[in-house]
Structure 1
Amino acid sequence: MAGKLTTHVLDTAHGCPAAGVEIILYSIASPSENRTLITQVYTDRDGRTEKPLLADGDLKIGEYELVFAVGSYFDRTQANLPKPAFLDRIPIRFQIADIEAHYHIPLLVSPWSYSTYRGS
C-alpha cells in the first residue's frame, strides 16, 4: 500500500472550512535547504484539496514544506482587518519517514493564530 499526503484548512474565526486557500508544496533538499516546487493547489468548499498532494508512489522519505496563503483568504472573508495582515503565508515544515503511511496535515487558522498536527 502506497502512502499519501493530504491536508485541509479550517477557518476557526468563522467556524467553517476555508475555501479557496492557495497551498504550495515543496520538497526540501538537505543540507542546502533548496526548495523544489512539487504542486500548487487550492482548497475546495470543504477546505480540502481535490486529490492527495502526494500519492501513488510519489511520497518519498525526506523533508517537505507546505505554504498556506491565508492572507488573501482572510482579505476575501473578513472585513475590517488591518493592512498588512498579521498572517499572510504560513509555512509548515515536516518530514516523511514512512512512505507507506498516510500523512494528514490540517491547518486550523484565524486572522490572528494557527495550529496544526499530524492527523489521520
Structure 2
Amino acid sequence: MSLSTHVLDATTGRPASGVAVTLSRSGTEVAAGVTDDDGRIGTLTADLSAGTYRLRFDTAGYFAARDITGFYPEVVIAFEVTEAHAHHHVPLLLSPYAYSTYRGS
C-alpha cells in the first residue's frame, strides 16, 4: 500500500508548495514530508498496513509564510486503510477559512 497527497490553494488556484505534512497511527508519527512545487508528496510512505491513520497538514506555517491570517492552524484528516495492497491518495483543497478533501486515485 502506498500513500500520496496533493494540496491546492483555492484562493490562488495554484499548488500549495511548502506545506509540512505528517502521517501518524495511534498517536505515533510514521512518516513526514513537505509538498513540492506542484503541491504534491508523491509517496509519503509505501508500507502501510490496514488501520486508521491521520494526515496532519501545517496550514498555519503555510499561510504565515505568505503573510495570510487563517482560521485553521492545521488540518487533520483521519482515514481508514482497508485495502492493504491499494494506493491511497488524499488530496486537500485549502483556503484560509475553509478546506475540503476526498479519496483520490
What TM-score range do you get, normalising by the shorter chain? over 0.9
Equivalent residue number for residue 82 of structure 2: 97
Q: Cα distance, 1:78 vs. partner? A: 4.4
Q: Cα distance, 1:40 vs. partner? A: 1.7
Equivalent residue number for residue 11 of structure 2: 13
Q: Does 1:53 align with 2:38?
A: no
Structure 2: 5+ residue runs without aligned partners?
none
**Partner amino acid, structure 1, of 2:84:** I
Structure 1: 5+ residue runs without aligned partners?
29-34
Question: In angstroms, what is the RMSD of aligned CA positions?
Answer: 1.2
Alignment partners' CA distance in 2, 1:78 and 1:117: 28
Alignment partners' CA distance in 2, 1:65 and 1:101: 17
Q: Secondary structure at the match of 1:77?
A: coil
CA deviations 1:31-64 (Å, max 9, x no partner) are: xxxx111112111100012x41121xx1200010
Q: Secondary structure at the match of 2:63?
A: helix
Equivalent residue number for residue 112 of structure 1: 97
Structure 2 length as normaliser, TM-score? 0.94
Runs ≥4 residues deviating over 4 A: none
Instruction: Say how many residue pairs are matched.
Output: 105
Q: Does 1:42 align with 2:34?
A: yes
Question: Which of the two has higher C-alpha Rg?
Answer: 1
Alignment partners' CA distance in 1, 2:8 and 2:67: 14
Structure 1 length as normaliser, TM-score? 0.82
Higher strand share: 2
Q: Cα distance, 1:102 vs. partner? A: 1.2
Alignment partners' CA distance in 2, 1:39 and 1:104: 15
Q: Secondary structure at the match of 2:43?
A: coil
